Amino acid sequence: MEIRTLRYFLAVAKEENMTRAAELLHVTQPTLSKQLKSLEDELGKKLFTRHSFSITLTEEGRLLRDRAEDLITMADKISNEFTSMDDITGGEIYLGLAESSHISYLAKAIKRLKEKYPYLHYNIISGDTEQVIDKLNKGILDFAVLAEDPDPVKYEHIPFPEADIWGLIIPKGDPLSNKTSIRAKDLIGLPLLCSGQAWENEIPKWAGDDFDKLRLEGSFKLSYNGGIFTEAGLGYLLTFDKILNTSESGSLCFRPLYPKLETRLYLVWKKDQTFSPIADRFLKQIRSDFR
């Protein structure tokens, strides 16, 4: 199975049209069709369902798409690392990020690094802990930012300078917006929105005996989407401060939880990991800035 063939496959999967994919790849349509037929024969599975004017993925095709995306990213990462071995002005770094306003610390560190190495390029993947750790373990990422304590057996880490503060996102004018802080008892019987990860970990510890009385209305991987549902009046969002617009100009407000609940962010990488030159410089920049 060749990397080039997987690139052809991903192009067709994205465009859902053989002609458009062939144009983007600068190959003829018969060549593209032949490559995809060879891929199906090699795997012994039908990857596409062909319609009159479009192509859709089969279940096996969707599985291959997910695997192929990781393989292509890894292939590009290896190529970029070797290309930049002797490049003292830049290179590629791959980062997986949790959702937090404190990512600004990372952005500032990258900006300072780019002033020294102007041809630095960074590739950002966002997601929850499970998604990011999976790509870190596969070697697709150089570093991950996690909103939970990393496993010291598997990973090295650096804590961020500040912790995130938990609270409730509330529509302005709601009775809860009159409170200065939110207790677990205030939330009993209300439709709550929260990430699945936090609902299983942080929130039970905070709510204590009242947790069984709380009701999860819906779970979100991204707080931005949860904020939209909160604005629509579907529930109240439990999340970090400064993730959403809760300024005077917005329609939502933030009230911290009581007792205070905090989550620390960590920059994480695999133990005994071999870094590219630019990734090594990035880590040195982080150590300096975060200290």
Residue 86 has what pLDDT? 57
Tell me if 270 is assigned to some domain. yes
Is 240 contained in some domain? Answer: yes
CA angle, 118 as apex, 112 and 123 as ends, to 5°? 80
Looking at the structure, tell me whether residues 174 and 230 fall in a common domain. Answer: yes
Same structural domain for residues 228 and 271?
Answer: no
Together in a domain, 138 and 177: no
**84: confidence class by pLDDT, cuts 50, 70, 90:** low
The pLDDT value given to residue 80: 67
- Report d(CA 167, CA 255) in Å as an integer: 5
Local confidence band at 96 (pLDDT 50, 70, 90 cut-offs): very high
The burial of 72, by beta-carbon neighbours within 10 Å (0-12 exposed, 13-18 middle, 19 or more buried), is given as middle
Are residue 115 and residue 250 in the same domain, yes or no?
no
pLDDT value of residue 85:
56
Question: What is the pLDDT, as a whole number, of residue 240?
Answer: 97
Say yes or no: 110 and 30 in one domain: no
Whether 19 maps to a domain, the answer reads: yes
On average, the pLDDT of the chain sits at 91
Higher pLDDT, 108 or 272: 108
Residues 125, 157, single domain; the answer is yes
Does 58 reside within a domain? yes
Count of structural domains within the chain: 3
Is 15 inside a domain boundary? yes
Instruction: Point out the domain boundary residue: 52, 78, 104.
Output: 78
Shared domain check, 120 and 243:
no
Residues 201 and 235 in one domain: yes
Please report, as a single letter, which amino acid is at residue 87. Answer: D
Residue 286, token pair as written in the block = 């982080």
- With tokens 């930012």, the residue in question is 145
Beta bridge partners of 55: 50
Q: 83 lies in a domain?
A: no
On the question of pLDDT at 87 being above 70, the answer is no
pLDDT of residue 88: 61
Residues 14 and 24 in one domain: yes
Q: What's the rounded mean pLDDT across residues 194-211?
A: 95
Is the pLDDT assigned to residue 139 strictly greater than 80? yes
Q: How far apart are CA 82 and CA 271, in angstroms?
A: 21
Residues 238, 120 share a domain: no
Q: Return the CATH number at 115.
A: 3.40.190.10
Indicate the residue among 34, 57, 78 that finishes a domain: 78
Per-residue pLDDT, 233: 95
Q: What average pLDDT does the segment 52-80 reach?
A: 82
Q: Based on the fold, state whether residues 171 and 225 are members of the same structural domain.
A: yes
Residue-wise pLDDT tens digits, 235-275 = 999 999 999 999 999 999 999 999 999 999 999 999 988 88
The per-residue pLDDT for 9 is 87
End-of-domain residue from the set 56, 78, 100: 78
Tokens of 65: 């798409």
Domain that holds residue 27: 3-78
- Whether residue 94 sits in one domain with residue 49: no
| pLDDT given at position 127 | 76
Note the pLDDT tens digit of each residue in 22-31: 888 888 988 8
Structure-model confidence comparison of residues 55 and 219, the more confident one: 219
- CB within 8 A of 274, min separation 6: which ones? none
Is residue 108, in this structure, part of any structural domain at all?
A: yes
Residue 269's pLDDT is what? 96
